[in-house]
């Protein structure tokens, strides 16, 4: 009996020792689980299902309305009413496109002036709201970024005063396409372009008008245009009526003729030297301004902006102030499209109409937008 009890105790002791040694032994490391790559059908594209629509609100007398509310606005997208989510002001991102080229046409006295363009731009930035961001593009021999985005108005003023120069050629269409690229990373609904130009491209440019318009309209920016077209034509028309256009004149002075009686003079000579080549250049430039005015007008209307056609330097500067006020008074209307953006075809264009639900309220906005990629 004692031997049996001793045997049982020994076995129990051996079992406990084995359990203890097993607990102390290091466990083999398990190999890490490789990451599972998502299958193409599992990947989900994320779209921002919200449209931000810049809207300008005025009363019967053209005064800006400071009380616009959600219930005042009706938005139709491709003819379908949309549910408005919000109406608010947000800081603006304003891109100045300053056309300082084109003196090679020999019409420096009759075409746009860099000094006037500078003064208009200075008036604009002085009237923008605090917190608005500004960038400056110059159209001259090439598209040139003079100042990236900044809210420092003093820095912009320094650039305008010190870095803006006239050049022989204007690459306005190339500059417009570059503007579309610069705007692409700015918040939608706050994108603005102020274009100060005669719209005339110098020969040799590589960008077509239709392509430039398409690019800028696709950037979903509001385009405000202060055009030189009427200004230069008015200047051209105001030349003295007794001097034919395209003609160089010398002083018409009567001279004494020794072979004639004392006091008699030879009839004054006209002294006019016709310059058919210059007259042809001026006629061609005038025709180009009429063509550019048409596409500039269409661009402003498509994007919800305005085109101004001043006829004097003072009026051009005043229009710069008006553009700044227009930007400051603009609302951003947001809505979630009834037909999701994720269902849109590549490059799909959606037509937009904005109407007022309140008597005496007038709304202006863009005609439509290209669905972002």
List the domains of the chain with CATH numbers: 47-89+330-373 (no CATH), 90-237+276-329 (3.40.50.410)
Question: Per mean pLDDT, which range of 172-181, 257-266, 286-295 is the poorest?
Answer: 257-266
Which ranges of 128-193 does DSSP label H, i.e. alpha helix?
Answer: 153-162, 172-183
Q: What average pLDDT does this structure show over 30-56?
A: 58
CB 94 within 8 A of CB 194: yes
Mean pLDDT of the chain: 82
- The pLDDT value given to residue 70: 97
At a CB cut-off of 8 Å and minimum separation 6, what does 10 contact?
A: none
Q: Give residue for tokens 């610069």.
A: 182
Tell me the CA distances in angstroms from 3 to 9, 10, 15, 213, one per residue in order. 10, 11, 19, 107
pTM, whole model, 2 decimals?
Answer: 0.77
Beta-strand runs (E) in 2-92: 51-58, 73-77, 80-81, 84-88
- The pLDDT value given to residue 14: 53
What is the band of 105 on the pLDDT scale with cuts at 50, 70, 90? Answer: low
Q: What average pLDDT does this structure show over 171-181?
A: 96
What is the band of 199 on the pLDDT scale with cuts at 50, 70, 90? Answer: very high
How many CA atoms lie less than 13 Å away from 265 in the CB half-sphere?
7
| CB count in 10 Å sphere of residue 373 | 7
At a CB cut-off of 8 Å and minimum separation 6, what does 249 contact?
A: 243, 271, 272, 273
Nearest to 195 by CA among 293, 105, 108: 293
pLDDT tens digit sequence for 281-306:
788 888 999 999 999 999 999 999 99
> Has residue 204 got a pLDDT over 70?
yes
């Amino acid at each position: 009996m004692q031997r049996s009890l001793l045997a049982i105790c020994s076995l129990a002791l051996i079992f406990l020792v084995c359990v203890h040694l097993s607990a102390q032994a290091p466990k083999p490391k398990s190999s890490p689980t490789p990451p599972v790559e998502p299958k193409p059908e599992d990947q989900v594209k994320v779209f921002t299902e919200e449209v931000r629509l810049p809207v300008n609100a005025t009363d019967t007398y053209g005064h800006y309305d400071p009380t616009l509310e959600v219930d005042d606005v009706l938005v139709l997208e491709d003819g379908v009413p949309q549910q408005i989510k919000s109406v608010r002001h947000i800081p603006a991102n304003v891109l100045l496109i300053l056309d300082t080229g084109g003196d090679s046409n020999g019409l420096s006295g009759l075409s746009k002036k860099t000094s006037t363009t500078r003064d208009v731009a200075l008036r604009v930035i002085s009237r923008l709201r605090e917190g608005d961001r500004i960038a400056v593009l110059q159209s001259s021999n090439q598209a040139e970024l003079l100042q990236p985005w900044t809210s420092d108005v003093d820095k912009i003023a320094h650039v305008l005063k010190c870095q803006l120069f006239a050049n022989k050629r204007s690459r306005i269409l190339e500059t417009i396409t570059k503007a579309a690229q610069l705007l692409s990373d700015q918040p939608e609904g706050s994108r603005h372009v102020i274009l100060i130009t005669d719209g005339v491209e110098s020969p040799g440019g590589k960008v077509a008008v239709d392509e430039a318009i398409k690019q800028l309209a696709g950037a979903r920016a509001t385009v405000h245009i202060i055009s030189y077209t009427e200004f230069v034509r008015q200047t051209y028309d105001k030349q003295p009526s007794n001097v034919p256009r395209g003609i160089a004149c010398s002083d018409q002075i009567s001279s004494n003729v020794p072979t004639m009686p004392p006091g008699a003079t030879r009839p004054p000579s006209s002294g006019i030297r016709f310059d058919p080549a210059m007259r042809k250049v001026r006629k061609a430039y005038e025709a180009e301004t009429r063509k550019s005015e048409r596409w500039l007008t269409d661009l402003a209307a498509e994007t919800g902006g305005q085109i101004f056609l001043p006829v004097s330097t003072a009026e051009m500067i005043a229009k710069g102030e008006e553009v700044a006020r227009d930007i400051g008074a603009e609302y951003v209307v947001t809505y979630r499209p009834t037909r999701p953006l994720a269902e849109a075809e590549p490059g799909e264009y959606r037509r937009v109409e904005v109407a007022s639900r309140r008597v005496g309220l007038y709304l202006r906005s863009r005609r439509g937008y290209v669905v972002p990629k």
